[in-house]
Amino acid sequence: MLLIFDWDGTLINSADKITGCMQQAARDLGLPDLSAKSVRQIIGLGLPEAILTLFPDIDAEVQVQFRDLYAKYFVEADQTPCPFFPGVMDTLETLRSHDHQLAVATGKSRRGLNRVLKNLELDAFFHSSRCADETASKPHPKMLLELLGEFDCQPEQALMVGDTSYDLEMAQAANVASVAVSYGAHATENLAQYSPLRFLDEFVEMLDIVAEQQAQSA
């Protein structure tokens, strides 16, 4: 089975770091203060899309300045990598040992994902990945469709695991079943409208879900 995971808010507990860096960039540019809630709502989008969602009226020059400031603050803060949520690495290692294909579909840039994978010594752990700056940002289904094509996989042979409406809307558009985590950036009531197979309160529950999906397709 092809198991595709969002990164921030699903595998990695990074919401506070993202929020703080976004708020600092806005303050530096004299933009309106950003609430933590508003920033959590854009986690999962590509950075250009996130900036325009937060500040739809700023011009192109300020967008670039915001992007560069945010990236600067986040790279500095991420010298100490964000922690995995409990049970994530043990669960991923078990899934990998059972010959499942593991992929990441993220709103991060390629440079950003590569940096954090290197810092975590996971450069070769995932079988593939897609980032927002090399394909279409979520919720467009392009990154999922590209992964399905890369692995010669039918939609019913894959699962998308995420914590935001962008993840689940993307999966729905690609006809891929989804699993939602309850501990991430978006509230469960917002995720429920996309009819995920299940909500994960703990990441280790992925083992049961994958086993159930395999049994149904046998």
Pull the structure tokens for residue 99: 């010959």
Q: 2-13+83-217, which class in CATH?
A: alpha beta
* Common-topology check for domains 2-13+83-217 and 15-77: no
CATH of domain 15-77: 1.10.150.240
Q: What is the pLDDT of residue 79?
A: 87
**Domain map (residue ranges) of the chain:** 2-13+83-217, 15-77
If DSSP codes are grouped into helix, strand and coil, which group holds residue 31?
coil
Split at pLDDT 50, 70, 90, the class of 216 is confident
pTM for the full model?
Answer: 0.93
pLDDT digits (tens, 9 = 90+) for 15-74: 999 999 999 999 999 999 999 999 999 999 999 999 999 999 999 999 999 999 999 999
**Cα 103 from Cα 144, distance rounded (Å):** 10
pLDDT digits (tens, 9 = 90+) for 127-168: 999 999 999 999 999 999 999 999 999 999 999 999 999 999
Q: What are phi and psi of 111, to 5 degrees?
A: -60, -40
